[in-house]
Amino acid sequence: MTAHMLRMAAAGLTACFLSAATALAQTIAVTNGRVITNAEAGVIESGTVLIRDGRIAEVGANVRIPSGARVIDAEGGWITPGLFHPQTELGLVEVALEAAARDNAASGSSFTAAIDVADSFNPAGNHIPSARVKGVTRFAVHPAVGSAIIAGRGALADASGRPDSLFADRQFMLVDLSVSGARTAGGARSAAWAYLRAAIEDARFYPGRFMSHHEGDAINRFDAAAMVDVVRGTIPLIMRMDRASDIRRAIAFQARYPAIRLIIAGGAEAHLLADEIAEAGIPVILDPMRNLPASFDTLAASNRAAGILHEAGVELAYTTLGSDLYWNPRLLRQHAGIAVAHGASWEDAFNAITLAPARIYGVADRFGSLETGKTADVVVWDGDPLEVLSAPTAVLIDGRVTSLETRQTRLRDRYAQMRREGEHGFAH
Amino acid sequence: MARLWSAFGAGAAMLALLAGCNEQSNGEAANGGELVRFDPDPYPSTYQPLPSGVTLIRGANVFDGVDQLLEDTDILIEDGRIAAVGQGLAAPDGASVVEAEGRFVTPGVVDIHSHLGVYASPSVSAHADGNEIRHPVTAEVWAEHGVWPQDPGFDTALAAGVTTLHILPGSANLFGGRGVTLRNTPARTVQAMKFPDAPYTLKMACGENPKRVYGTQGRAPASRMGNMAGYREAWQRAVEYRAAWKRYWDADDASATPPTRNFELDTLMGVLDGEILIQMHCYRADEMALVLDMAQEFDYHVAVFHHAVEAYKIPDLLAEANTCAAVWADWGGFKMEAYDSIIENLPITHALGACGMIHSDSDLGIQRLNHEVAKALGDGRRMGLEITDAEAVSWFTSAPARGLGIFDETGSIETGKRADIVLWSAHPLSSYALADHVYIDGALLYDRADPDQRTVRDFMLGQPGQEVR
């Protein structure tokens, strides 16, 4: 864990962030709510979060609200950091079955590691505001797996929908080593691992091995250049896998390549070797909802997995894989609620959808908690955010109050009452 | 109806009904020969409730499934049935008493749309038994002939309070085949899970799936026009088939040559006779409206539209047709016809006078139909709709039971009903609520506190990690 966090910190210094949005010079006080700080201040039963110029200026029970500040009254609800979804296809998929409205998987491409999901990302995607109005303020954008097990590089974005909302590109590399990866690589897990090792070697000896001929053993020169960041540990390598034996191979791989920073996504059987994963310091992105032997990779899947992994000290972030990654990332808090119902502590579960994902992606210095100096991603809820009956009443991103209107709420409002035939079609 | 069938024997009663309710035609022995008749129940239910004693659940907050919250209420279970519901009930000698002060009880969860058993876990190719993709009209296939009773999903659904579930064929075909309603009990055979005397159902499908599945093969239907043409062609054949059999039975002449039996048209004839309930996968409002006209054209009834993502656009048309909508809370975006999905679909449909309910269509979703209802309810209230918790509980209990034609047997906590009951760990509309006790016909099939009191399908025996499930 410690070693991993040090690598994360080092990477944070070198990561290439796009220019942050310039926040409005405005002071906002979010007040009169139960403040979950996710920081040393813990829970403030009735507190205020003061925001100035897009950042958190002060958090506490007795914060003086400056005159002229815009006041957002939580009315006794909850005030929390915005949720951070570690695994989405938001901005990539508008309609999953329509190739023309889907940009997630490069199924016919000859490129692998060079693929940069930022090129596909559409901040105007309609499902981003749908996630935002349910409290998601930041998210990772993952490429889906296309023609090769190495799917390319993912990005980090905020949920404002603004043109500059993708704030950090080329943040991680994704490789599929699950049963589907085995199929992609030629029919066996051993082929997938051989391909990955060859790609790593192509990158390790980049550019030298490409001087005399343009082809690597597994990937081309352009892909190898992209893979160099993985080999050097500048960006993490996310391995999609579920089966316990695969995770053991990943731990052995980590020992063989100590500079490479691994993250496991999937992890349906991770709880069977929770201590080994904790020891190796490999974070896991897990869906607490998955509890079925949906494949022979997930025979041990259990709703209790999240609690067991937290208990062992594994850095754990939750995802919505069992729902979906493009339309229902908004259900992140429901998935966290399921973890709590089955034994995770509320604090661990909430952490797993806020601060833990920020840490995993090396951006916890800016996101994931309500602390002075951090980016003001703040959500006001009408109740416990992990309760399915609750919902946000205000969502702030970068200190800006965002709209709670979506295409879906427009449809709702249009059909909220019966109207005469023909009257639905007008601009209400 | 179901009670009547129990009294006379389901087979005999169905036989009479399928014969067109013509009492006179039952006199086949009178002219010496025998008229050809069909056995309407050749794979009969062999379900037997598990043994149960007398149980008194005392002092619970009881959502009765029919719009009431009964506080501090006792439920007496005898002979697998609900013997009494009220306050201060005496515990008969030998009764096991469950102290439930402050805890919540609902009827057993009913899922009207499941593919457990026909798309079993693990989802390997050998387990794809839910779509007969060879012709768009396969009303002759029956889901019960594809249900694998060892699907581990039945166990996880039981742990979530699901006591009754309706297994449907998939939606590749215009007519996908018959559905089957099951008790969620461990069994070696599907017959032993079949809900006694539950009506058969017929799965139909609108929209993108049939036209995509066949259109991409260069076959009909390749468009929504083709979908409608395909249904109408089949219904017209069913009308003629039914008329031919009615003529034969009405003539009451055993020497006459009977029409040729056709299993596909048997099912459609059952729909036209009102004995088989139409459960139709349909997303878009405009398509549902066309289907309702088609039902009038051929004189049958659509019991429930499934998925019905745009039900909120046509609650008036649904109410007028007495057709219900079984919906998700928040699935959408996976195809064009699911693009207008809104979380308020169910509460708007309900509030504007149509009959709505939740459904899962998912081996994960079936494990939290209470959550799905809570999400829909919460957003419905936020838009200003006044719907009580107790009304919302009906969306996963009595409403689907009515949609399946089994409400006289289950779906509510009322005297005389099957004792299908869930005792929850928290308010059932909470994220944190888990089923603590699940009773089916009065028998405790699941007890969260007792690892030995849980069902484990054969497939899970000896698999890794079972010690922590």
Residues of A within 8 A of B378 (CB-CB) are 388-391
Residues of B within 8 A of A342 (CB-CB) are 434
State how far the Cα of B206 lies from the Cα of B215, in Å rounded to an integer. Answer: 14
Q: Is B330 an interface residue toward A (CB < 8 Å)?
A: yes
- Its pTM stands at 0.94
Give the amino acid at B30.
A
For residues B415 and B336, the answer to whether their CB atoms sit within 8 Å is no
Q: Is B457 an interface residue toward A (CB < 8 Å)?
A: no
Backbone phi, psi, residue A36, to 5°: -95, 105
Is B368 within 8 Å of A338 when comparing Cβ atoms?
yes
What's the pLDDT score for residue A215?
Answer: 84
pLDDT in tens, B51-90: 999 999 999 999 999 999 999 999 999 999 999 999 999 9
Residues of B within 8 A of A386 (CB-CB) are 431-432
Backbone phi, psi, residue A407, to 5°: -55, -40
Is B434 within 8 Å of A341 when comparing Cβ atoms?
yes
**A-B Cβ pairs (cutoff 8 Å, strict):** 145
For residues A338 and A289, the answer to whether their CB atoms sit within 8 Å is yes
For residues A197 and A230, the answer to whether their CB atoms sit within 8 Å is no
Q: Is B463 an interface residue toward A (CB < 8 Å)?
A: yes
Among all residues of chain B, which has the CA nearest to that of A298?
B122
Q: Is B363 an interface residue toward A (CB < 8 Å)?
A: yes
Is A271 within 8 Å of B464 when comparing Cβ atoms?
no
State how far the Cα of A283 lies from the Cα of A86, in Å rounded to an integer. Answer: 11
Is B348 within 8 Å of A415 when comparing Cβ atoms?
yes
Is B465 within 8 Å of A272 when comparing Cβ atoms?
yes
What's the pLDDT score for residue B401?
Answer: 99
Q: Which of B19, B367, B407 is nearest to B195 (CA)?
A: B407
Q: Give chain A's largest Cα–Cα span.
A: 74
Q: What is the ipTM of this complex?
A: 0.93
Question: Which residue from B124, B340, B363 is facing A411, i.e. has the nearest CB?
Answer: B340
Give the amino acid at B443.
A
Burial of A415 (0-12, 13-18, 19+ CB in 10 A): buried
Question: Which residue from B335, B352, B425 is facing A97, i.e. has the nearest CB?
Answer: B335
Q: Is B431 an interface residue toward A (CB < 8 Å)?
A: yes
Q: B468 falls in which pLDDT band (50, 70, 90)? A: confident
Is A416 within 8 Å of B363 when comparing Cβ atoms?
no
What's the pLDDT score for residue B23?
Answer: 38
**Residue range B257-280: average pLDDT?**
98
What's the pLDDT score for residue B31?
Answer: 43
Residues of B within 8 A of A412 (CB-CB) are 312, 342, 344, 348, 383
- B141 has a pLDDT exceeding 70: yes
pLDDT in tens, B418-435: 999 999 999 999 999 999
The average confidence (pLDDT) of chain B is: 93
Q: Is B460 an interface residue toward A (CB < 8 Å)?
A: yes
User: Collapsing DSSP states into helix, strand and coil, what is residue B234?
Assistant: helix
State how far the Cα of B168 lies from the Cα of B10, in Å rounded to an integer. Answer: 22
Q: Is B367 an interface residue toward A (CB < 8 Å)?
A: yes
Among all residues of chain A, which has the CA nearest to that of B367?
A289
Domain ranges in chain B are: 109-411
Rounded to the nearest angstrom, the minimum Cα separation between A20 and chain B is: 30
Share of chain B above pLDDT 70, in %: 93
Domains of chain A: 2-19+83-368+404-410 (3.20.20.140)
Rounded to the nearest angstrom, the minimum Cα separation between A249 and chain B is: 17
Residues of A within 8 A of B155 (CB-CB) are none
Residues of A within 8 A of B342 (CB-CB) are 408-409, 411-412
- B16 has a pLDDT exceeding 50: no
Question: Which residue from A95, A331, A415 is facing B336, i.e. has the nearest CB?
Answer: A95
**Residue range B317-330: average pLDDT?**
98
Residues of A within 8 A of B123 (CB-CB) are 294-295
Cβ within 8 Å of residue B462, ≥6 positions away: none
What's the pLDDT score for residue B7?
Answer: 33
Go through chain B and tell me how many residues it has.
469
Among all residues of chain A, which has the CA nearest to that of B465?
A300
Q: Is B332 an interface residue toward A (CB < 8 Å)?
A: yes
Q: Is B228 an interface residue toward A (CB < 8 Å)?
A: no
For residues B170 and B204, the answer to whether their CB atoms sit within 8 Å is no
**Residue range B242-254: average pLDDT?**
97
Residues of B within 8 A of A302 (CB-CB) are 465, 468-469
Question: Which residue from A302, A390, A415 is facing B465, i.e. has the nearest CB?
Answer: A302
State how far the Cα of B223 lies from the Cα of B214, in Å rounded to an integer. Answer: 9
Substitution target in A128, A242, A297, A299 with the highest count of B β-carbons within 10 Å is A299
Is A95 within 8 Å of B334 when comparing Cβ atoms?
yes
What's the pLDDT score for residue A336?
Answer: 98
Cβ within 8 Å of residue A172, ≥6 positions away: A140, A153, A154, A235, A236, A237, A238, A263, A361
Question: Which residue from B375, B425, B463 is facing A293, i.e. has the nearest CB?
Answer: B463
pLDDT in tens, B168-190: 999 999 999 999 999 999 999 99
Sign of CA dihedral B14, B15, B16, B18: positive
pLDDT digit string (tens) for chain A, length 428 residues: 344 444 444 444 334 444 444 445 699 999 999 999 999 999 999 999 999 999 999 999 999 999 999 999 999 999 999 999 999 999 999 999 999 999 999 999 999 999 999 999 999 999 999 999 999 999 999 999 999 999 999 999 999 999 999 999 999 999 999 999 999 999 999 999 999 999 999 999 999 999 887 689 999 999 999 999 999 999 999 999 999 999 999 999 999 999 999 999 999 999 999 999 999 999 999 999 999 999 999 999 999 999 999 999 999 999 999 999 999 999 999 999 999 999 999 999 999 999 999 999 999 999 999 999 999 999 999 999 999 999 999 999 999 999 999 999 999 999 999 888 888 888 76
Question: Which one is the CATH code of B109-411: 3.20.20.140, 3.40.109.10, 3.30.200.20, 3.30.479.30?
Answer: 3.20.20.140
What's the pLDDT score for residue B1?
Answer: 32
Residue B347 tokens, joined: 């509460």
What's the pLDDT score for residue B32?
Answer: 53
Among all residues of chain A, which has the CA nearest to that of B153?
A292
What ranges in A189-324 are assigned the alpha helix state H?
189-204, 221-231, 244-256, 274-280, 305-312
Is A415 within 8 Å of B367 when comparing Cβ atoms?
no
Rounded to the nearest angstrom, the minimum Cα separation between B168 and chain A is: 19
Is B432 within 8 Å of A291 when comparing Cβ atoms?
no
What's the pLDDT score for residue B335?
Answer: 98
